[in-house]
Chain A
Amino acid sequence: MPAFLSLAEAIATHVKDGDTLAMEGFTHLIPYAAGHEIIRQGRKHLTLIRMTPDILYDQLIGVGAADKLIFSWGGNPGVGSLHRLRDAVENGWPHKLAIEEHSHAAMANAYEAGAANLPFATFRGYIGADLPKVNPNIRSVTCPFTGEVLAAVPAHRPDVSIIHALRADRKGNVLLEGIVGVQKEAVLAAKKAIVTVEEIVDDLGAPSPNSVILPGWTITAVVAVPGGAHPSYAQGYYKRDNAFYIAWDPIARERDTFLAWIDAHVMRATPADFAARRPAA
């Protein structure tokens, strides 16, 4: 059974400087509150893994928490660039960021390989593309049966994976619904997993015997943070705050407006503030 902790306790206990950290959620259920706690506690030298580093990783990169990013698509979806990511890559601000870049197929396969306790993932990928020329972790294997040459990438094995789920029961079993992304794979691939949830309930109320449930014994810590996925969304709880995604563009464009926003909305805020940020369902 996982520990039921406050968010500050969970991050302080389980996320260390220099860790390799995966925070997943494919547009949906992005663990923003946990990311903000990591910023507040001043973690440094992180290797951040995420398929779609969006605003959350823009914030972590902008404050200088990350030394390296492993990713496959780094933009503000439907809006444009991640200006803090671009500033780090193009200008080295606040410091140079190492990047290991993949395709979505590679990242998804790498999480699955990690969950399956395999050393690498293989798939039919990167054909005719330039990424293998700039990423030495994109290699190939030859099929022992057909001789076909297939792409190979190392499995993701994060020190810690952090996800946001809909709810947990009193034993710490958690339920995900809707766009479930790679969260199950990220949790099962990691040495430790922290799950923030909208609420803790007596009965999960799983809608189907095939619901995506992570048993409590696969999770290190469970934290109730209502609204903890804002400005992304939680299926059935609140909608995606698209207006915030659009508003982020001018905030992140300049270093001073970004730092002022972090100071006001992260450093001077608490996890409890997320509840009031939720738009109506």
Chain B
Amino acid sequence: MNAPSLGFTATEMMTIAAARVLRNDDVCFVGIGAPSAACNLARLTHAPGITLIYESGTIGTEPDVLPLSIGDGELCDTALTTVAVPEMFRYWLQGGRITVGFLGGAQIDRFANLNTTVVGPYDAPKVRLPGGGGAPEIAAHSREIFITMAMGSRAFVEKLPFITSMGHGTGGDHRARLGLKTLGPTRVMTDRCILEPDPDSKELTVVSLHPGETREGVEAQCGWPLKFAADLKETPAPTAEELEVLRALHERTRRAHAGG
């Protein structure tokens, strides 16, 4: 657990860890929710040249506050250009222009497949979730996929009730066997650790623990027996600049969305 004495929350650490993996020359398709905060933090810190794309059609957007939805006017007002949604999915995503698809999800399994569709049987769901939206094709056509979501035994599950978007399928070369040439999920940034797929089996492996976290603590938040890398690292703590920029972004966002 992150004690308050660390000076940052687990969610802040997750967002910052997720932001750090983005590069200045990435063209990033931004998923709703946690990915949006991470992508904009990256843009406001080490990656000012990053191109952020939202599925509403906004290309190269530079919002001053985080959008509540993927189609807030802020995204269009600050974008280089805004295209129609069929064009977004046909030319820009399917056309292979996206270097990183950044996704969240309700549930994930050990091969980084994601479920945002249902909990329980599809025809009689216990919980009806929003559905896939753009994710099934983002997961297929982006050069690589980053995922960010908080850990928990109901989120990190042994078996998904529904595969909304394919990660590494049943592992190994499953993606290649389906004809996919993209890398699929390459990193998962959580509130407690960072996971990466094993190069061969593609099973998610903990490569870095966030400050204050233990193996046992992380294992308790995961529904399958977790593997840890031989050279397990500790995630560098957030810098003062990262925290300051992130908190200012959230504060601007809170003020903007409380209006109306």
Instruction: Determine the chain A residues whose CB is within 8 A of the CB of B164 once the complex forms.
Output: 129-131
- Select which of B57, B69, B86, B180 is within 8 A of A240 by beta carbon: B69
- For residue B173, give the distance in angstroms from its CB to the closest CB of chain A: 13
Name the prevailing secondary structure of the B interface residues.
loop
CA distance A235 to B122 in the complex (A): 38
- Measured CB to CB, the residues of B under 8 A from A are 32-33, 55-58, 67-73, 75-76, 82, 84-86, 88-90, 93-94, 113, 117, 122-123, 125-137, 140-141, 162-166, 169, 174-175, 178-180, 256-260
- Measured CB to CB, the residues of A under 8 A from B are 26-28, 51-52, 71-75, 77-79, 81-82, 85-86, 89-90, 101, 103-105, 108-109, 111-112, 123-131, 134, 148, 178-182, 184-185, 212, 233, 235, 239-246, 279
Instruction: Determine the chain B residues whose CB is within 8 A of the CB of A79 once the complex forms.
Output: 68
CA distance A209 to B259 in the complex (A): 36
B57 touches A105 (CB 8 A): no
Name the prevailing secondary structure of the A interface residues.
loop
CA distance A77 to B69 in the complex (A): 5
B32 touches A244 (CB 8 A): no
- For residue B39, give the distance in angstroms from its CB to the closest CB of chain A: 15
With A104-B137, A123-B94 as known contacts, state yes or no: A78 contacts B132, CB within 8 Å: no
B76 touches A127 (CB 8 A): no
With A77-B69, A128-B178, A179-B82 as known contacts, state yes or no: A103 contacts B133, CB within 8 Å: yes
- Select which of A52, A71, A128 is within 8 A of B163 by beta carbon: A128
With A129-B136, A243-B260, A246-B257 as known contacts, state yes or no: A178 contacts B73, CB within 8 Å: yes
Instruction: Determine the chain A residues whose CB is within 8 A of the CB of B260 once the complex forms.
Output: 239, 241-244, 279
Top 9 nearest A-B pairs (CB, nearest first) are A27-B71, A128-B166, A243-B260, A77-B69, A75-B130, A73-B133, A78-B68, A108-B86, A105-B137
A27 touches B56 (CB 8 A): yes
* Closest chain A residue to B115, Cβ basis: A130
* Closest chain B residue to A54, Cβ basis: B69
CA distance A218 to B132 in the complex (A): 32
- For residue B34, give the distance in angstroms from its CB to the closest CB of chain A: 11
Instruction: Determine the chain A residues whose CB is within 8 A of the CB of B68 once the complex forms.
Output: 77-79, 240, 242, 245-246
B71 touches A179 (CB 8 A): yes
CA distance A34 to B179 in the complex (A): 44
- Select which of B76, B89, B93, B137 is within 8 A of A235 by beta carbon: B76
* Closest chain B residue to A29, Cβ basis: B71
Instruction: Determine the chain A residues whose CB is within 8 A of the CB of B134 once the complex forms.
Output: 73, 103-105
A240 touches B179 (CB 8 A): no
Instruction: Determine the chain B residues whose CB is within 8 A of the CB of A127 once the complex forms.
Output: 136, 140, 166, 178-180
B94 touches A77 (CB 8 A): no
B128 touches A103 (CB 8 A): no
Instruction: Determine the chain A residues whose CB is within 8 A of the CB of B132 once the complex forms.
Output: 72-73, 101, 103-104, 129, 131
With A28-B71, A105-B137, A245-B69 as known contacts, state yes or no: A185 contacts B86, CB within 8 Å: yes
CA distance A243 to B255 in the complex (A): 11
CA distance A83 to B132 in the complex (A): 18
Q: Indicate the member of A73, A109, A148, A246 with the most B CB atoms within 10 Å.
A: A73
A27 touches B86 (CB 8 A): no
A90 touches B127 (CB 8 A): yes
- For residue A98, give the distance in angstroms from its CB to the closest CB of chain B: 11
B32 touches A279 (CB 8 A): no
